[in-house]
A = this chain, B = another copy of it.
Amino acid sequence: MPKETFFNLPEDKRTIICQVAVDEFAAYPFEQASINRIVANAGIAKGSFYQYFEDKNDLFLHIMQLVGEEKLKYMSSLIQAPYQYDIFTLIRELYISGIQFAVERPQYAKISKRILENKNSALYQEVMNSNMPTAYEFFEVLLKNAIVKKEVRENINVKLLAHLITSMNAVLIEYYLEHVSQDYDEGIMETVDHFLDFLKNGIGVNGTE
């Protein structure tokens, strides 16, 4: 937790510091991110930084909380009422939200991505623990429910599929940014719909198997 001093700061100064820190952590993984660069870019003295935060760790966890909160804003309506849609529509909306987040908050998205890649490291684990139950568990419940509702066939490996659906969100975002567009546009729908078609029906010829 940042020190009281940090929260006593005028809002614009606090905002600048956070903005600069976000840029730093988006550009470099934790170990390479530099407090020296952050204070230089934020225009504050190094000593001041340590009046605001315990240490580099403290700053990082604070930034991670901002990222988490922002991401939640994109998802919250979907997560809070997940059964208003059938599972495929829900996944569609979740993926679209994910891409939207990646496009509109690219720095935050970069930081998020690094966390998912480092699920085992001590620091990154602390982030995950403080956070929600994992997306993976969310999809597992969702799938089981969808099987009961006969939206999804019952002879699937639920654990594996939950894992795949979680991971493919990230894959889809990467694909979208790399091959479709840097901006949020109509292509997003097409890409997500292609993916959902695959998720529903696979790629085998009809009647096979």
Give chain A's interface residues, CB within 8 Å of chain B.
29, 31-32, 88, 117, 143, 150-153, 156-157, 159-161, 163-164, 167-168, 171, 174-175, 179, 191, 194-195, 197-206, 208-209
Contact = CB atoms under 8 A, between A and B. Distances in A.
B203 A152 contact: yes
Contacts of A206: 153
A151 B201 contact: no
A175 to B, nearest CB: 5
Contact of A175 (B31, B160, B175, B198): B160
Q: Indicate how many identical chains form the complex.
A: 2
Contact of A200 (B29, B161, B208): B208
22 contacts: A32-B32, A143-B203, A152-B205, A156-B197, A157-B191, A157-B194, A159-B179, A161-B198, A161-B203, A164-B168, A164-B175, A164-B195, A164-B198, A167-B167, A167-B171, A168-B171, A171-B171, A198-B202, A200-B202, A201-B201, A201-B204, A201-B209
A190 to B, nearest CB: 8
A44 B202 CA distance: 55
B150 A163 contact: no
Contacts of A168: 164, 167-168, 171
Contact of A171 (B151, B164, B208): B164
Given A31-B32, A164-B198, A204 B152 contact: yes
A24 B167 CA distance: 28
The 5 closest A-B pairs by CB, nearest first: A200-B204, A202-B202, A157-B194, A201-B202, A167-B171
Nearest to A153: B205
A209 B88 CA distance: 12
A171 to B, nearest CB: 4
